[in-house]
Structures are given as C-alpha cells and as structure tokens.
Structure 1
Amino acid sequence: MPRHGISGFAMAAAMLGGAAPALAQTTADSASKTTAGNEDIIVTAQRRDESLSRTPVAVDVVGMQELAEQNVRSEADLQFAAPGLSVRAGATSNEVNFSLRGQSVDQFTGTRPGVLPYFNEVQISSNSGGGSGATSFYDLQSVQVLKGPQGTLFGRNATGGAVLFTSAKPTNEFGGYLSARYGNYDTVQLEGALNLPIVDDRLLARVAGFYSDQTGFQHNLYDGSRPGSIERYGVRGSLTWRGEGGFENDLVVDYYKADGTSTQSVLYALDPTQPTAAAVTLFYSPGLDLVFGPGAWDGYLSRHTNPTIPAGGLADFLAIQKARGPFTIATNDANFYRAENLIVTNSTSVDLNDTTKLKNIIGYAHLKTDVRGDTDGSPFGVAGDGEIDEVGRPGGHTRTTILSEELQLLGTLAADRLTYALGFYLSSEKSNVFRQATFLDVFGDLGLSPLSVNSDVAYNNSYAFYGQGTYQLGGGFGVTAGLRYTSETVRGRTLPIDNSYATPAQIASGVADNDQRKTIRNLSWTFGLQNQISDDVLLYAVTRRSYRNGGFNGSSPPIVGDATVNGNSYGTETVTDVEAGAKFQGLLATMPARFNIALYNMWIKNGQRNAFADINGPASLAVNVPRTKVYGFELDGDLRLTDWLRIGGNLNYTHARFTNGLTPAFGGTILLGTVPDTPEWSGTVYGEISAPVSSRLTASLRGDLYSQTGTFYIASGNLNPTAHLPGYSIANFRIGIEDEAAGWSLSANLKNAFNKVYYVGGMPLAALLQFNSALPGAPRTYSLEARYRF
C-alpha cells in the first residue's frame, strides 16, 4: 500500500472513529426508493438486503418512482437525478459516457470506461466505444450509481464507479401498467408491462415494452432535415422459476432498436494559432487560389452550391452560427444513427443450507451501432464521417459481443458475525470497429484523396477470483477486507483495409505487427472500518485499489511498443483512494430526514487519456498521464417538513488535476493540463408538494433545479483553451394528479423550463484542424402523460 493510502486512511479512521468501504457493484435486485415518511431504501451492495443508511458504501439510488417523477428517459437525464454523476456526449447526442470523480473515457481512445454500466449484474460496455445497451429506460426497478473504485466483490474492475440498471422482476400477482406521453417536437412515447403468475409462486412471467418517436430539435438549413429525429422501441421478457431448497432462476431477454438521426454538434470555436496544416487555414477565407491556382475556391463553391455557404469561409460562418444559436444549423454531411442491442441475463441461486447460498450469473450482450455525422458542424467539408458503404453502413460502425460467467458463494459464519462473498468471474469480448472519415474534401477537386480509414478488431478475455468479508466486532464496530486477482488478455488486430495496415517488410523487421496481444495480471483490494454509533448514524472509512488495464490503439499504426517509441500500446491505469463518510436516517425534531456525506481523495497513476496526432489523418489516441489527483466531497439529503412537503438536494465538489501531465506520446512528450468532463461544482435542489384534493384524488407538484460549473471536454485544454464548455443551470417541473385506488394518474412535465442554451460535449479538434464543435443539450420540452396501473 502506498504511503499516501496509509496516511490518508489513518487520518479518516481517526477522524470518524471507524468506518467501512464503498464496495463493489451492487446487484440492486431489491433496491427501491420512496418519498413518503421515513421508509428504508433497500440495497444489496454487500450481497445481502440492507438499508442504504446502514450500508457503508457511497451509492445513490434512483427508484422506479423517482424515475417517473423526474421524467428520466435516457442516460442524459440521469445527471439531474443522480448526485455527482456527469453524462458527457461526443460529436452527436447518441454517443454518451458517464463520468464520476474525474473518471470517464475520452473519445475514440478505445479504452474501457472508468464508469461501467451494468444491466441486471451483467456488464454491458467494452473497449470499443459502442453503445452501452442501457438506453431502455422503461420498467426499471432502480438505477444505482456506485462511486469510487470498484473491483473486489464481483464483476469487472472499474476505477471510477458503476451505474447499475435493474429491470422490474415478475411478482406473484396479475397486474401491470400502461402509459402514453405526448409532447412538443411531435414526441410520442408508449410504455407498458404485464405481470403473469403462470404457476402460483413457482413460475412467474413479465413482459414489458416501449415505443418512442420524436422530431429533432435542430433545423438544418443545408438540406432541410431535422437532426435528432429518431424512432426507438424495445421489448423485454422476464421469467422467474422458483423451486425447492431456495432454488430460484431469473431469465431476462432484452431487445432494443433505434433508427434515425442524432442531434448534431455545431461549429463552436476557431483557433488559427494552433500549429496545424496550412490547408486548414485556407478555409478561413477564399484564399485557395493563392496556393492551388486560379479557381480553386470557386470550384469548391460551385461543387457545393448551397446558399448556406458564406464566401468568407469558416470565420464568417462561425459568426453566423453564434447568432442563430445551436438549433438552427447548416451542416453538409449526412446524419445517421442506428443501434440494435440484444442482452440476455440469467441468474440462478440455491440455498446450500441456512447460512450459505450458491449463485451463478450468465450474461450475453450483442451490441450494434452505426453512426455518421458532421464533425466540424459547418457546411464546409473540413471533417466528416465518410460515405455510406454498399450495405448501408455509414462512416462508423461497431459490433460488440460480450459473454460472461460469474459463480458466487455467499454466506455467514461465526454466529452471523462474519458475512462473506467468494467468487469466480470469466468474460470474453470481441469488438469490430470501423471508422471512416474525410478531411478537407476540397482536395477532391484537386485529384487528392481525403479519406482516412481505421478498421480493427479488439479482443478481451478475462478471469478473476475474489473474496470479501465483513466481521462485526461488536458495539457497532465492523471491519471489511477484500481481495481480487485478475488475469486479462487483450488483443488488437488491424484489418487490411486500414490505412495503417503494416507491410510484410515492417512485420519482418519487428517494427510493426498487425496482430498484437498482451496479458496483464493484478490485485485489487479494499480495506475499511465501520461504526454504527446509533440506530440513526453510521460512520465509515475505506481505502481501495483498482485498475483499468492497458491495450492497443486501433486508430494508430500497429507499431510495436508504447508511446515512448511512437508505438500503439498504452499501459494500465492504477487508482488508489481513501474515502470517509457518514450517513444519517432518523428524525430531526419530528421531521423524517436523511443525510449522507462522503469525502474522498484519489491518486491515479498512468491515467488513460487522449491526445491528438495526425497519423494518416487526424487521430485520437490513448496515452498514459503519469500522475493525477482528485479530491472532493459529495453531500446529499432530504427532509420531510410536513406530511405534504418534502425538500432536498445535493452538492458535489470535485478538484481534479494532473500533478504530472508530461505525457509520453508519439515518440516524445506532450503536456496535458486539464481533467475533462469534470465540473468543479454541481448540485441539485428540489421541492415536492403532495396533498389530497378529495377523498380519492391526490395532487402533486415537484420542481428541480440542477446547476454545474464549466468544464473542459479535452485533456489538453491547456493547448486548446477554446475547448471549454460554460456552466449552466436547468429547471424542471412536474405537476400531477392521481387516483391510487383506481390506478390512474395524469401528469404534465416541463424540462429546461427557461429554455437555457447549454452544451454537453462535442469534438475538440482545434489542435489538428483549428476548430472545436460543441453539442447542445435539449431545449425546453414539455409533455402530458396518462398512466393506468392494474
């Protein structure tokens, strides 16, 4: 254990008088959250049902009721409901990643996300950057957000946290629900579920589905299209079989499909001071004639006869775009998005005796994504996603298959003083990635090729053994320790159509290899203390270590070696943290209340980030930043002032910086200076009124205000200072009326009530092509919803 881990943990333990760890990913099988009185929130973070207020883990739970009340319909909505979670988009609205405590995944690096999504205990994201498969936000029992390094209890290592989606399980009662929602932008959303007890308390089934159709927020003057127009649907079948001896098998099959377009990044900033190819600068004015001869600029304009193209080039267009705002655009590249996911989870458990349970979890995920957009967000052909190929696939597509198997032994010993979990985890992944891009397509008029093609296959095979236990010392004190051994083999194979495919001579000399692999072995651990000092108050402290293993850059030439020799290999990231926290659930005077606080410090060695280079065309590459430090606090709570009024909120502070940003890259070093996707401050305040208006009807009103400070969306913001997105505040409201006895409700939802313009991601390419594009968040939307429960 490094000295900073020991000293930090000792300080936290001394300050709090004992503690316990934030453990690995929760199953969330029984997680729920209510808004009435002082009911428990039940989680299974330590492989047993227990109250969240008594669970020594930094976790936030958004239950079925909250998902409906806050109108959470997608990953982008989660950051308004889950304290401290940021959701970062890429060039389009359908490329999203989670960020927690400064840990995320940079665009197009091919690294594994620092915050992993799970569906029913099965990991559903890989190194490929393809879809997570988690977009089916319907009939969910809960969403849990675990914070900090995960890796000793079960599942896969994660350095920043995990987001756990759990579908509603079949019950032993006939019933279900139907809902219909209509809103502006021609939004239509239908959802429903049917619960069927086939054999009483033995064989239970549930079928759920949804359909959504929406016109895009943007109007593209270039071709009259509405980017962001998309149709989605999904169906999910669940079957539970219960037998003798505590036997239970849960099978869930989830299918999801989306087809349409994405909200498009727009031209956001220009930086002609960046050291880049002179040809790019030519787009700032009609000066092509000076380099390529008479008529070059005229030839480009005649080939792209469109009134949205200003004669003054990008500089003039940027001023026009700023004046229009991000929802009236003019982009020349076709916009396309299609995703299709199939996820199958199977969980079997059996009681070996009164204190021991054996559990097995099998997972299968097949994720397909096709995406195309305009990288520069302008009517000029500076950077795009290439042409649609002969089978209808656009400039980028990903095919990912994940198989996993997990066997657990769960139980208690020593008169229930020791609770333990032992397990074996095995996974196999394969991702086919194709990226096609065009740069400076004016070159086509000059007989030059602007096309860049990256095509590779990434493989990942991993197995792990883990064990973790909590021993109750008495008097409210407990100690937890866990250890995990992981062996992971990664392989990167460059395909022949890739621009960087190595020649036989390069391979024979040992300089390059189109098929590279390596095996990494490491130990993750956690150690902590806890002290339940009263029925209402829990104190805890923990120190942990986790890893994000290295791999190969698919977008760079397959040169053998790491970044110090301009090779395509990147190394393993190591995260060590210390966390101290306190939880309260009880009464303040006569008012039910909950409060949680967590303070943390993280030390990151060889953090996986991106750097830009021109390698057969602009590329984003994974590199290892030598040292990073992240510290902060997370505070959340709620207070029921009266039977009809509840208030609450959260406040999150994150101080993230590279303490040594001098990073090996491209055979030399570059200085990276900004931790991306990490607002320093974020928080939410809300109020909720619920009161009877008659003997049967209850009316409710809720308002939420979310706010965050600005953030860079690139690790080299010191070199690209215009890649900074300003802070923003968003207000959401909901009003409803319900007849609980009859099972129906009506509600009206208003999101981004004051129509604030804000940005959630984009493409920061000024270091290569002198421009940054940015993706706007959703404008003001409203909807009416009717819901019937039977």
Structure 2
Amino acid sequence: MSGHKAIVTALLSASGIALAFPAAAQESQASQPPQADPGSGLGDIVVTARKREESLQNVPVAITAFGGEALREKNIDTFYDVPLHTPGLTVRTASAERSGADFFIRGQGSTYGSGPGVVSYFSDVPAFGSLLGNNIQFYDLASVQVLKGPQGTLFGRSTTGGAVLIEPARPTADFGGFVEVKAGNYDMREVTGALNVPLVGDVLMLRVAGNIVRRDGFTISSTTGQKLDDRRRESYRVGLLFRPSESFENYTLFYGEHINENASGSVLLEFNDTSIAQFAAPSNLVIAGFCANPAVAIAANCAGTAAIRAARLDALHAALNAEEARIKGGGSIRQTPTAYQDFLRGSSQVLQNTTTIRPGEVPVLGDLMIKNIFATGRTIKAASTREIGGSPLPHGQPINGQELIGGVPTITNRSGTTKFFDHFTEEVQLGGGSPTVDWLVGYFVEVDKNPLSFPPIFPAFNNAFSIPLDALAYQGQLVLNQKDIDRGLFGQATVKLDSLIGGLSVTAGYRKSKSTRRSFNAPAVVTPTGVVPGVVVPGVGLKEKVSSYNFSVDYRAASNLLLYAATRKGYKPGGVNPPPAEPIPGALTSFRPEILKDVELGAKYDWESGVVSGRTNIALYKQWYSDIQRNQILINPNPPFGTVTQVANIARASIKGLELENVIQVGRRLTFTLNYSFTDAKYTRYPGTTTDILGNVIPNVEAPYVGTPKHQGTLGIRFLAVESDNVGNVSISGDLYRQSRVWLDDQALQDPEQVGKQKAWSNLNLRLDWNNAGGTGIDAGLFARNVTKNVHLLGVGNLINNLGVITGIYSEPRTWGIELRYKFGS
C-alpha cells in the first residue's frame, strides 16, 4: 500500500471509530456544550472568526486554531510549519525567496503573478507585504486561526480561499513575562522575551516583546562560499492597552523587524539550450544578428566587442550545462553557483490602533459595540540581490530596491524606503448582540500610495547583450504617483430561531467592494548622480465593483453536536496589463476579478466514552471557480511578428473536497491527533494551447492545478509521562505529516520534463518537554524537525522560455535544538 493511501485509511478508520463511540450516550447529557478538563487537551478553544469571542465548536465555519502553548508544543515557528497541522492548507515560496510565503487553501492561492487567494491578518489588520516579505514573526502569540472558504462579509479584504488570523499576546493587568533561549545545529541561537507591566492597575497596561535569531545558512554558494538560507533578524513589539472603564478601550501596537540575511538558495532544476534563440544558434551568429541593426552596432561598439560578447555566451552556455549535469548526476542540492554576493536587507515597521466603545444596551440594537481599527506601515532601505538563474555568471539575478548611481546598484532612501501613512488601512465596525440576534456592519478602506517605484535591475546572458558592454539596466519602467484604493462596505447578522426550532440559527452577510488603480510610467534615465524619469505617460487605470455574500444555517442537534450548511461568494481583485509597444488585436488593458462560489456542509462533534474523549470536526465542500486570471499569449500580426503575454479572465475550474480533524484523549496522559484532507481540483474550461520547448502543442485545459495536493494527513501523538508538582511535567510528542504530489510550476505545460511536479513527501517532527522542571519554573525542551531528512521543493521558478532555465527552492534540512524558558510573575 502506498504511503498516502495508508495514512488515508488509518485516518478514516480512526475517525469512523471516533464518530461511532458515544452517540447515544451524548444525547442524554446536559444542554450546555461540554467543558473538558484543562489538563485533557480538549478545553474550549476560543476563536474570533465572527468578530466576537466564541467557542470553536459553536462557529459554522471550518477553522483550525492553535493557542500560544499549542504553537510551542507543535514546533510552529514559521508560516511553513502551519500546514503540517492544518488540513487543506499548503504554502509555497513566493518570488524565489523564503521570506515570501504564498498560502493555498482549498486550491485558492497566488498563481501566475495574481493577488493572494488567502489573506494573513495580524491583530485584525491585513498584513503589509513588502520586498522583505511578511514581517510577522511567530513569538509571544495568543493564537493562530486558519479560516477556510471565502471571507469578507465580516472584516478586512475579500478572499476566495480563506484567511489566517494571527493574534499577539495583549497586555494584561498582571505583572509577568518570560525569557526563552534556543540553541541548535547550524549554529542556531535565538533569544525571545516578553514583559507585561500594569502601569496603572487594570487601566493602563504595557507589554513589550522581542526576538533575536541567528542561524548559519544550509545552502552554500559554490562560487563565493556564501552561506545562503541563513537567518539573521531582530524583531520587537510594544503594546499599550488603555481601559479606563468597561465601556472604553484603546489598544496601540507598534512592531517592527530588521533583516540582514544572505537571501535564499535557488537551485538549477533544468537548462534547455534549444528553447530560446540566444542559445539555439552558434554564439557568433547570435551576436551578428544582435549587431545587424546599425544603431545597435554603434551603441554597443560591436566592432570592438563582438568577439567578447560571443565568448560571454559560450561561457554561460557551458556553465549552465555543467551545473545541470551536476544536479542530475546526483550532486548536492545544498550547493548552488551564484554570480553575486546575495542579500536580503532592510527594516519594516507597523503602527496599529484599535479603539472599542461599548455604550451598553440600546433599544432594538442590543448590546452595542463601536470599533475603529487603523494601521499604517513603512519600509526602510529594503533591498535584495538574489538568484533565479542557477548560474555562476550574470544570468537571472533580480536586484531590487536599488538605484543605479553611476551605473552601480545603490540602496538609497528613494529606492527601498516608504513612509508611514502612504500605505494604511482603516476599518470601522458597528455591532450589537441580543439573545436572538447578533449583527455587525462595517466599512474597510486600504490606500497604498507610492510616489516612485523602481523596477528590478536584471542582468542576463552574462551581459552579452548589454549596451554598452557590462552596463546594468532596469527591466521595465519607473512607476510614479501610484495610488491604489480598495473599499468595502459589509454586514452580517445571525438570527437565533430557538422559538421555532431549538438550536437553529441562520446567518446572512453581504459585501460591496470598489477598487481603483492609478499610476504614471516613465523610462528610467541613469545619470552619474542617480535615476531621473524620462517622458512621463499615464498608466492604465482601473475601476471595478464586485459583491460577495455568505449565507449559512446551523443547528445544534445535541449539546455536543453542531451541524451546518453554508454557501458563499468571494472574489480576488482584478488588475491592469502593461500596454504593448504597438496595437495588437485582442490586447486587454485590464482584467476582471476572479469569482468563487461554494457550498459547504459540516459537523462539529465533542464526545466521550469512559476514559476516552474526543473532538471530531468534518467539512465537505464544492466550489465553482470562474473568471480565473491566467496568462494568455497574443501574436503580433505585423513584423517582426513577436508575441505579447497578458493576463485575461479565460479559465474556469471545479474544486471539491473533504477536511477532517480529530483529537482523541485517552485518560489524562495520552492524546492522538488525526487530520486529513482530500482536494480534487481541475480546470473545466481553459481555451487555447501551449507549445512546450519540444514543439508539442498541448491544450491549456490539461494544465495541472497548482499548489493543491490531492491528499494531506497528519498523525500526532503526545504522552504525558510525568505529572508532578515537585518534579514537573514531562511529555513526549511527535507529528508525522504526509501529502501526495503537488505541482509548483505555474507554466508546467512548457516543460516536458515536469521538474515542477513535487512527488509525495513526508515530514516527522519530535519533541520532549519538561515543564516546571524540578519545581523551578523553568520549562526545558528538546526538538527535532524533519527527522528523516526529507528533501522536497517549496517553490519553482520557470523561466525556460526567457532565460532557458527552471530553478527551485528546497525544504530545510533536519534541524534540532534545545530551548529553555523561564516564566516570572503571574
């Protein structure tokens, strides 16, 4: 039996046993939802998916949630750890950099350069993305919640896939805190701390937290010796909570991060020297063609440099062939050539303020709540030089956030710095509650202004075609006075119909969104003192309106069983296409939003039979995905008969699946976790064809569905070996995750070798905890991640038709370490 089939069989068998255990016994219990013993691991999990605190088991939405201690016990330290414990969620690298993580939920994510299908929130605010990636760090957190299915009728942005809600620990009225240190292989050192101080009792409270991490890289540059994939960053948070009365609360949060790392190691997966003209013919003929234009010949000094340029192409060709042969011959993927000293560097900061007013009971409206959430962020000298070409020579090295001064890439305040209030979000909520109705209406706006944005500097082909020789140039134009505005007006209400049918509730929500885009473009003119814009022309504008909705019915069939059915509509925003150099039939200036509609059926069940208790949650869904944004190739009917790639709404897909989460507690000491998801995603309409690098013509509808493994499962066990006030609590835990194959390459049809298809893989994590060791208040832990040294791809960059290469970023190797935490105060 194959690995994933075995895990599926085990999970379904276990869940079937779980569901069969205690149905009859539970019907006779009291009407209140069960409150498990705090030591059992099945205590009430509080979530905020509906913008109010309530039990996970009372919410008619598929949610996976982790508290602060659960994150520690499960070794969840980064975004890449969350899918190992969350059925239906996957993550891949974005932009050839580990710091950028693209979430996929139920087949919805960021593909073909489109926007995200899943939005991350930190303290109720959509995460501000930047060149540095997502600056959310997994320390001193209260919870992480993964909401599955379309969102947007209750808060923030609208999404098609779901949302990841991350809540930091808030200030409290008790003095206390902790200090934690970690050390491990690859010279890993990490220090985390938090201090909570009630400045004025329970009126004014302060919490300060910080994290410093150092770790050597595990991918070595074979040309420079640089250790890529290292970690070197410092981050901090300061939270101030002012609560002069029960009716007023103001929470201010300021957090930031500084990064100074060597960027990610990108490994060559495939080189094809017949797919592009620069390698398909002898180099002297290629350069002769390049110099055939008299104007080019003069500007490039072809008379004096033609032989040098041809030699450059030959050297690159040989280097790529040699590296491909090394990798395909079994060479280490923890080694890769690089052309530069790579880096990811800069700082980011975010300021948030949340004000909540509770006037109390208001006739008709109920227990009224008014909330305002404001946030703004900035970056400071954020810049990077990274590799996506797998070459020891200049070929596919995006240089971002840097200004060419005298032809030299330089980090300046113009190139990598943004200001507070240029990018901000504002959200106003008005809600109320009564024994029969809970309701909320709100308005969300996000404004992103950028007076000047630099395109990447992009050396390629060993600078054989640069004018003059070895001169660096920008890929694309400057973007000036960009202003993007997204607005949403939303509302949702839940009506409890106990007077008609006990335990029955109906929820309805609606959102109306409006987006506008405006910018100007200009060529970048490089001067000895910096870059100045050339002739400024208006960019393509965009105005769009779209709606989304949510309707659900939930029924508490018994005190321990919730049944629900929901149907929703979500969307992913549209965008603009860069205009072609000359008019081409069929060219589109913009593309519309993607639309997703779904139906979901679910059950949430807490049960008990003798010394065995458990929690079983299941969701089944069907999705109809339309107006999918995909690349479309247009052919210029006029000389020189080139092609243009644009984004168009040309595809449709059907997605169906199942998600199952089980926790089984045997007595107080033994806990099993059994999770599984099945996702079946396929295109139902995708017109056109793709010609691969061998000349085969393939219908687009045969394209694999990216980022979505059919099977995922986790088997977990935790055993409390010792429970003593004098000795402490000693526990042993382990989690085995396995998933079936997954496609990571958006342009997979171009590649007959299918190097963008990652085979099925497994990950085993182990942990030993000794909490309150010897009654000292010190918590000690030993951990090991990826115990079996599994190697799999996290992301793939396909540039086979542009640079002749496909590269990938691989998973982390086995890591292990020790951690000590001392908690003080209350």
Question: TM-score, structure 2 length as denominator?
Answer: 0.82
Aligned partners of 2:659 and 2:678 also within 8 Å:
yes
Partner of 2:383: 370
Between stretches 769-778 and 89-98, larger displacement belongs to: 89-98
Q: What pairs up with 1:352-751 in 2 under 5 angstroms?
A: 352-354=359-361, 355-367=367-379, 369-386=382-399, 389-390=404-405, 392-393=410-411, 401-413=422-434, 416-431=435-450, 432=453, 434-444=455-465, 451-454=473-476, 455-456=478-479, 458-474=482-498, 475-497=502-524, 514-553=538-577, 556-557=578-579, 565-610=586-631, 622-662=647-687, 671=700, 673-692=703-722, 694=724, 695-721=726-752, 722=754, 723-739=756-772, 741-751=775-785
Q: How far has the Cα of 1:786 moved from its partner?
A: 0.8
Q: Secondary structure at the match of 2:72?
A: helix
CA distance in 1, matches of 2:534, 2:234: 45
Aligned partners of 2:276 and 2:804 also within 8 Å:
no
Q: Secondary structure at the match of 1:453?
A: coil
Partner of 1:97: 102
CA distance in 2, matches of 1:596, 1:707: 20
Q: What pairs up with 1:242-281 in 2 under 5 angstroms?
A: 242-271=243-272, 276-281=275-280
Aligned partners of 1:232 and 1:256 also within 8 Å:
yes
CA distance in 1, matches of 2:533, 2:685: 34
Q: How far has the Cα of 1:49 moved from its partner?
A: 1.8
CA distance in 2, matches of 1:236, 1:583: 36
Aligned partners of 1:685 and 1:706 also within 8 Å:
yes
CA distance in 2, matches of 1:774, 1:133: 20
Q: 1:541-600: CA deviations, max 9, x gaps?
A: 1111112221124xx446799x97334422211111111111112314432211111111
CA distance in 2, matches of 1:436, 1:614: 27
Q: What pairs up with 1:132-211 in 2 under 5 angstroms?
A: 132-211=133-212
Partner of 1:787: 821
CA distance in 2, matches of 1:193, 1:418: 39
Partner of 2:241: 240
Q: How far has the Cα of 1:336 moved from its partner?
A: 1.4
Asked if 1:334 corresponds to 2:341, the answer is yes
Q: How far has the Cα of 1:133 moved from its partner?
A: 3.4
Q: How far has the Cα of 1:270 moved from its partner?
A: 3.3
Partner of 2:57: 53
Q: 1:233-282: CA deviations, max 9, x gaps?
A: 01110011112352111111111111111221110123456xx4321346
Unpaired runs of 5+ residues, structure 1, are 1-31, 508-512
Q: How far has the Cα of 1:77 moved from its partner?
A: 2.0
Q: How far has the Cα of 1:215 moved from its partner?
A: 0.9
Asked if 1:78 corresponds to 2:82, the answer is yes
Residue identity in the other structure for 2:543:
T
Unpaired runs of 5+ residues, structure 2, are 1-35, 289-302, 362-366, 527-531, 691-697
Aligned partners of 2:553 and 2:564 also within 8 Å:
yes
Q: 1:408-467: CA deviations, max 9, x gaps?
A: 111124xx1111111122221135352221221251589667845223354321222211
Q: Number of residue pairs matched?
A: 731
Q: Secondary structure at the match of 1:332?
A: coil
CA distance in 2, matches of 1:177, 1:67: 16
Q: Secondary structure at the match of 1:79?
A: helix
Aligned partners of 1:114 and 1:160 also within 8 Å:
yes
Residue identity in the other structure for 1:376:
G
Q: How far has the Cα of 1:120 moved from its partner?
A: 0.6
CA distance in 2, matches of 1:113, 1:461: 17
Q: How far has the Cα of 1:231 moved from its partner?
A: 1.2
CA distance in 1, matches of 2:38, 2:586: 56
Q: How far has the Cα of 1:313 moved from its partner?
A: 4.2
Aligned partners of 2:525 and 2:534 also within 8 Å:
no
Between stretches 721-730 and 768-777, larger displacement belongs to: 721-730
Asked if 1:772 corresponds to 2:806, the answer is yes
Residue identity in the other structure for 1:654:
T
Q: 1:674-710: CA deviations, max 9, x gaps?
A: 2211112122111111122653321111111111222
Residue identity in the other structure for 1:658:
Y
- Flag the structure with larger Rg: 2
Relative distance call for 1:170 and 1:185 in structure 2 (3 A) is same
Aligned partners of 1:372 and 1:385 also within 8 Å:
yes
Aligned partners of 1:453 and 1:497 also within 8 Å:
no
Q: How far has the Cα of 1:519 moved from its partner?
A: 1.7
Q: Secondary structure at the match of 2:109?
A: coil
Asked if 1:44 corresponds to 2:51, the answer is no
Relative distance call for 1:564 and 1:195 in structure 2 (3 A) is farther
Aligned partners of 1:397 and 1:435 also within 8 Å:
no
Residue identity in the other structure for 1:756:
N
Between stretches 98-107 and 193-202, larger displacement belongs to: 98-107
Aligned partners of 1:332 and 1:379 also within 8 Å:
yes
Q: 1:759-784: CA deviations, max 9, x gaps?
A: 10021122333321111110011111
Partner of 1:13: none
Relative distance call for 1:234 and 1:35 in structure 2 (3 A) is farther
Residue identity in the other structure for 1:169:
R
Between stretches 670-679 and 777-786, larger displacement belongs to: 670-679
Aligned partners of 1:439 and 1:451 also within 8 Å:
no
Residue identity in the other structure for 2:593:
T
Q: How far has the Cα of 1:68 moved from its partner?
A: 1.1
CA distance in 2, matches of 1:52, 1:243: 30
Aligned partners of 2:209 and 2:237 also within 8 Å:
yes
CA distance in 2, matches of 1:311, 1:350: 66
CA distance in 2, matches of 1:33, 1:381: 61
Partner of 1:122: 125
Q: 1:459-495: CA deviations, max 9, x gaps?
A: 3212222111011111111111011122221224323
Aligned partners of 2:312 and 2:464 also within 8 Å:
no
CA distance in 1, matches of 2:55, 2:193: 29
Partner of 2:17: none
Between stretches 76-85 and 112-121, larger displacement belongs to: 76-85
Relative distance call for 1:585 and 1:397 in structure 2 (3 A) is farther
Q: How far has the Cα of 1:135 moved from its partner?
A: 3.0
Partner of 1:350: 357
Q: How far has the Cα of 1:300 moved from its partner?
A: 7.1
Give the CA RMSD over aligned residues.
3.5
